[in-house]
Structure formats: C-alpha cells, structure tokens
C-alpha cells in the first residue's frame, strides 16, 4: 500500500494547523491554501479515519475525542520532521564539497584549506580530485579548466598559468647539461607536444619534430608528469606556479626563463541555484584573496585571470 494511502500526510498537516490555530481561515493563510482546500483536506482525513475530528460550532471550533487523541502525536511527528529537515539543511550548509583538477588540488589548494577552515571553523570541507571537467549536481563548487566559462554555471575566472620545459638535474647532467633550447631535443619528452606548447618551440626558434616521446601517458595530469620528470624519465612542460617548491629544492630545474601562457583559464564554478549560499560566498572571497596574495608574493608561472 502506498504511503499516501496509509498516512494522508497533507491532510494531517492541515489538521495540525487548524487544531493549533483553532480556525480554518487562519490555517488557510498560514498554509497558503484556500479555505475550501483546507475544508477538503479535513474531510479527506475524516473519511480516512471514519470519524470526525472537529465539532463545528457557530463561533468556535472544538476537537472531537478522536481529534484530541490524534493531535498530540501528529504535532510531535511534524516537530520531528521539522527538526530532521533543519538538521539536514544545517549539515548541507556547513559542509562544502569542492571538485578540483588533481594538480590544483594536490599542489595548491590542499595546502591552504587549513587557512580557510581557520577563518570559517563552522564550515567543513570535502575536497575531491576530478580528472574530468564536469561539475556533478550534488557538489557545491567545481574548479574547472576551460577556454570559455562552462555553460549553465556561475563562473568566476581565477588564474591562467605559464608553462616551460622542466626536468630533473641528473637527466640534464646525463647529456652534459642544458645550454641551449636545442639540447632539450636530445632527451625523451613526457608531455605531448601540441597546441600552445608549440608556441614555446617557435619562440625558442627550434623545430620540435625530432622530439622522442616516452611511453608514459599521464593523460595530462601535471602532478603525475612532474613526478615522472623528477624521477628522470624525461622533460615535461610544467608551470612554476605548482612546482615552485620542487624548483627551489632542486628536484626540478627550469633551464630557460622563456615560458608560454596556457590558453585555458581556471574557473570557480557553481550552480545558479546556489549563488546565495553563504559557504560558497565565503569560499569565493577567500580563494580570490588567497590567490591574489600568493601571486603578489611569488607570481612565477601564473597571472590572475581577468
């Protein structure tokens, strides 16, 4: 049997309001219904019970014995339901789910989320690494990489990245050092050379055709390409913005200052229905300020997207 037949929820909701307010008209106003609709729901309940729940007098409304027995449990049930909904709403509001490209998550965002939590201790964060550039309906925020703002979302541009060839120092030493861009052609390459990466070779005035690719395919995941480069497997097109610590520690070297700007933008995106969410507003303000401060102190490899 369907729940609606076992428990006429709409009729019970109307009954609770009428009994509490002791008036059909005031109950109709509270529930946003017509008085006729309220009367109809009460009749449905009485038909379901086989008993009247109200005694209608000219200037008063009284509960019958059946109505008096029913009211306390119905009121308690709706209080419990209201509390459950409020709890669920509170949990949803206080947990921020962020979908992020893997490298942005592991090389930048995860190190700084502690500062966000310190500023907003009432908000817990769930950070998920996504290879696909898709915003799932159940998540709050997605960091997406795209040429244009993703359709159907509220989008705020965050940053654009500059890229240059990087490699492990021991790999460079294996060919006597990297002294000119053409020396990079002597080594295997981890990153696939195409698109805007070709701009780097054009600016360096060398032909990338002789490049020997490795058998490694990291599917464009920069953190995996960087780890492979640090292990000496080849040269990768990487951004100093994500790997500044590895460059400072000597795990990677960037032989030349020449870099090329990626054509794509990192966007902060979320569904239009959540534009007024306090937790999303808080995160948006925090990440914009944090990125701005980060780039002001060491802007190598990135710029704020306009």
Final residue before a domain boundary, out of 60, 92, 124: 92
Final residue before a domain boundary, out of 66, 92, 118: 92
pLDDT for residue 140: 87
Mean pLDDT (10-residue bins), the chain, 306 residues: 61 89 86 89 90 84 89 83 61 79 93 93 89 58 92 91 95 95 92 84 89 71 91 93 94 94 91 88 95 83 73
Strand, helix or coil for residue 204? coil
Q: Which run of H or of E encompasses 142?
A: strand 141-146
56, 24: one domain: yes
247-260 burial code (b ≥16 CB/10 A, e <16) = beeebbbbbeeebb
Spatial neighbors of 284 by CB under 8 A, at least 6 apart, are: 156, 268
9, 127: one domain: no
Q: Which of 240, 221, 225 is nearest to 133 (CA)?
A: 221
User: Count of domains in the chain?
Assistant: 2
Structure tokens at 121: 């201790």
129, 180: one domain: yes
Structure tokens at 52: 């009247």
Task: Find the CATH number of the domain harbouring 291.
Answer: 3.40.190.290
pLDDT for residue 85: 62
66, 111: one domain: no
Domain of 153 in residue numbering reads as 101-306
Q: For tokens 């500062």, name the residue.
A: 115
Spatial neighbors of 187 by CB under 8 A, at least 6 apart, are: 167, 171, 175, 212, 234, 235
50, 172: one domain: no
Q: What CA–CA distance (Å, rounded) separates 164 from 201?
A: 10
Spatial neighbors of 31 by CB under 8 A, at least 6 apart, are: 13, 14, 17, 38
Helix, strand, coil % (nearest 5) of the chain? 50, 20, 30
Q: What CA–CA distance (Å, rounded) separates 292 from 279?
A: 20
55, 108: one domain: no
Q: What CA–CA distance (Å, rounded) separates 58 from 75?
A: 26
Distances (CA, A) of 156 to 215, 273, 279, 287: 37, 15, 16, 11
Task: Find the CATH number of the domain harbouring 10.
Answer: 1.10.10.10
Cα angle value 207/213/216 (rounded, 5°): 150
Q: Which of 123, 116, 157 is nearest to 140 (CA)?
A: 123
DSSP string, 205-263: T---TT-EE-S---TT-HHHHHHHHHTTS-BEEE-HHHHHHHHHHTSSB---S--EE-S
Final residue before a domain boundary, out of 73, 92, 111: 92
79, 159: one domain: no
pLDDT for residue 184: 93
52, 114: one domain: no
131, 74: one domain: no
- At residue 199, φ and ψ (nearest 5 deg) are -65, -35
Strand, helix or coil for residue 121? coil
pLDDT for residue 90: 55
């Amino acid at each position: 049997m369907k729940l609606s037949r076992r428990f006429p929820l709409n009729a019970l909701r109307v009954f609770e309001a009428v009994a509490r307010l002791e008036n059909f008209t005031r109950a109709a106003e509270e529930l946003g219904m017509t008085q006729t609709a309220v009367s109809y729901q009460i009749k449905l309940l009485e038909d379901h019970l086989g008993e009247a729940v109200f005694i209608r007098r000219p200037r008063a409304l009284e509960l019958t014995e059946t109505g008096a027995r029913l009211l306390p449990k119905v009121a308690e049930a709706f209080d419990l339901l209201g509390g459950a909904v409020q709890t669920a709403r509170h949990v949803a509001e206080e947990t921020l789910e962020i979908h992020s490209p893997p490298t942005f998550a592991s090389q930048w965002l995860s190190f700084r989320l502690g500062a966000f939590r310190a500023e907003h201790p009432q908000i817990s964060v769930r950070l998920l690494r996504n290879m696909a550039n898709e915003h799932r309906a159940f998540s709050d925020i997605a960091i997406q990489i795209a040429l244009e703002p993703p359709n159907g979302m509220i989008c705020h541009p965050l940053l654009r990245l500059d890229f240059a060839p990087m490699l492990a120092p021991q790999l460079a030493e294996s060919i006597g050092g990297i002294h000119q861009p053409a020396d990079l052609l002597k080594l295997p390459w981890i990153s696939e050379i195409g698109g805007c990466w070709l701009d780097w070779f054009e600016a360096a005035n060398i032909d990338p055709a002789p490049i020997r690719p490795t058998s490694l395919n990291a599917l464009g995941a920069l953190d995996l390409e960087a780890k492979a480069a640090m292990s000496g497997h080849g040269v990768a097109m990487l951004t100093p913005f994500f790997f500044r610590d590895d460059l400072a520690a000597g795990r990677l070297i960037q032989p030349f200052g020449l870099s090329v700007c990626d054509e794509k933008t990192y966007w902060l995106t979320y569904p239009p229905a959540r534009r007024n969410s306090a937790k999303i507003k808080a995160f948006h303000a925090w990440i914009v300020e944090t990125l701005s401060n980060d780039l002001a102190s060491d802007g190598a490899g990135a710029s704020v997207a306009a």
